Amino acid sequence: MKHLAALSTALVCTAVALALPAQAGSYPVDGKWGQSASTEKGPIDCGKLRVIGFNGDQRTDSKGGVPAYRNRTVQSAGAGQFRVVDEFTTGQIRNAKMNYTLRMVDADTAEMIMEKGGTLRLRKCK
């Protein structure tokens, strides 16, 4: 009888866990960041640049192939580095994932190092 009770409890706990929505992570940065190779100190004018916006668990891209992403996970990968998994849906693609490392160079500079190659260097917008 004890085994049956333990099994019932385990099944109920599993069912509750599966019914809960997955929690998205929050980005370790926020605000708008412009694609730039600039080495100047402080935030830059992003008026004509490609702009990546980070807001909680949402990321937008002004000139990328996908305009909006939802963060799935953020994991620390050492000092100032984070492994990020984003999810996106377009008219033709549903629930696709994008993996990259977000590296903080300094308070105003970040790099998105793409899993499939390439790096997007970002500067904090004014």
Domains (range + CATH), the chain:
23-124 (2.40.128)
State the pLDDT at residue 9. 37
Tens of pLDDT, residues 30-89: 999 999 998 888 999 999 999 999 999 999 999 988 999 999 999 999 999 999 999 999
Question: What residues are paired with 97 via a beta bridge?
Answer: 87
State the pLDDT at residue 4. 38
Least confident of 13-22, 68-77, 85-94, 116-125: 13-22
State the pLDDT at residue 24. 62
The mean pLDDT of the chain is 84
Type of residue found at 3: H
Cβ atoms of residues 123 and 38 within 8 Å = yes
User: What is the distance between the alpha carbons of residues 109 and 97, in angstroms, rounded to a whole number?
Assistant: 24
Element holding 59 (H helix, E strand): strand 58-61
Question: pTM for the full model?
Answer: 0.77
State the pLDDT at residue 14. 34
Tokens standing for residue 85: 């998994």
Least confident of 7-11, 26-30, 64-68, 90-94: 7-11
Interval 11-22 mean pLDDT: 36
User: What is the distance between the alpha carbons of residues 19 and 54, in angstroms, rounded to a whole number?
Assistant: 28
User: Torsion angle, CA of 85/88/93/94, rounded to 10 degrees?
Assistant: 90
